[in-house]
Amino acid sequence: MSAVPEAYLIERRAFPGRLRTTIRRLARHRPAVVALATLGLAGTFAGMIATGGSGPIGTIMFVPWVALLAAELGPVPGGLAGVGATCLYFAAAETVGLPEDPATLALRLVPLVGVGIAAGFSSRRISSDALELQATSALQQALLDSTVDGICLTDPSGRIFLGNLPLQRFGLELGLPLHGTVTDRLLALAERTTEPARFRERMAELASNSAESEDEFELTESGRVFRGYTAPVERPDGSLVGRIWTLREVTADRRLERLRDAFVAAVSHELRTPLTSISGFVEMLEDEKNGLSAAGRNYVRVISRGTARLQRIVEDLLLVAEIEADRLQLAKTPTDLGALASAAVETALPTAAEQEIELVLDIEGPLPLEADAARLGQVLDNLVSNALKYTSPGGTVVVSAYESDGSVRVEVADNGIGVPHDELGQLFSRFYRASTATRLAIPGTGLGLVIVRAIVERHGGTVSLSSVEGEGTRVIVSLPAVQSDGGTYR
Could you read off the pLDDT tens digit of each residue along the chain, which spans 490 residues? 444 445 555 555 444 555 555 555 545 566 777 777 677 767 776 776 666 655 555 666 777 767 776 677 767 776 777 777 777 777 777 676 655 556 666 656 666 666 666 666 676 666 666 667 777 777 777 777 888 888 888 888 888 888 888 888 888 888 888 888 888 899 989 999 999 999 999 999 888 888 888 899 999 988 899 999 999 998 888 888 889 999 999 988 888 877 777 776 777 677 777 878 888 888 888 777 777 788 887 888 888 878 877 877 777 777 777 777 677 788 888 988 889 999 999 988 988 998 999 999 988 778 888 888 888 998 999 899 889 988 989 999 999 998 887 788 899 999 988 888 888 878 887 777 788 777 777 777 777 888 888 889 888 899 998 988 888 899 999 998 764 444 433 3
Dihedral pair phi/psi, residue 364, rounded to 5°: -80, -15
User: Helix axis angle, 30-51 relative to 63-73, nearest 10°?
Assistant: 160
298 & 229 share domain:
no
Cβ atoms of 307 and 282 closer than 8 Å? yes
59 & 130 share domain:
yes
205 & 286 share domain:
no
For residue 189, give the nearest of 252, 247, 149, 147 by alpha carbon: 247
**Amino acid 486: pLDDT:** 42
Cβ atoms of 335 and 376 closer than 8 Å? yes
**Amino acid 128: pLDDT:** 67
Q: Is 168 exposed, middle or buried (0-12, 13-18, 19+ CB in 10 A)?
A: buried
Q: How far apart are CA 283 and CA 295, in angstroms?
A: 17
162 & 207 share domain:
yes
DSSP state of 406: T
Give pTM, 2 decimals.
0.50
**Amino acid 397: pLDDT:** 92
Which domain-ending residue is among 249, 276, 306?
249
Which domain-ending residue is among 123, 145, 167?
145
Give the CATH number of the domain where residue 364 resides: 3.30.565.10
**Amino acid 489: pLDDT:** 36
| 75 occurs within a structural domain | yes
> Strand 358-363 to strand 396-404: parallel, antiparallel, or no bridges (unpaired)?
parallel
Which domain-ending residue is among 324, 353, 369?
324
Task: Give me the domain span that covers residue 203.
Answer: 150-249
The residues with which 162 forms a beta bridge, in sequence order, are: 153
269 & 228 share domain:
no
401 & 282 share domain:
no
**Amino acid 4: pLDDT:** 44
106 & 131 share domain:
yes
99 & 165 share domain:
no
> Total domain count for the chain?
4
| 489 occurs within a structural domain | no
| 487 occurs within a structural domain | no
Residue type, 348: A
Cβ atoms of 112 and 83 closer than 8 Å? yes
Cβ atoms of 447 and 378 closer than 8 Å? no
Give the CATH number of the domain where residue 167 resides: 3.30.450.20
262 & 226 share domain:
no
Q: Is 242 exposed, middle or buried (0-12, 13-18, 19+ CB in 10 A)?
A: buried
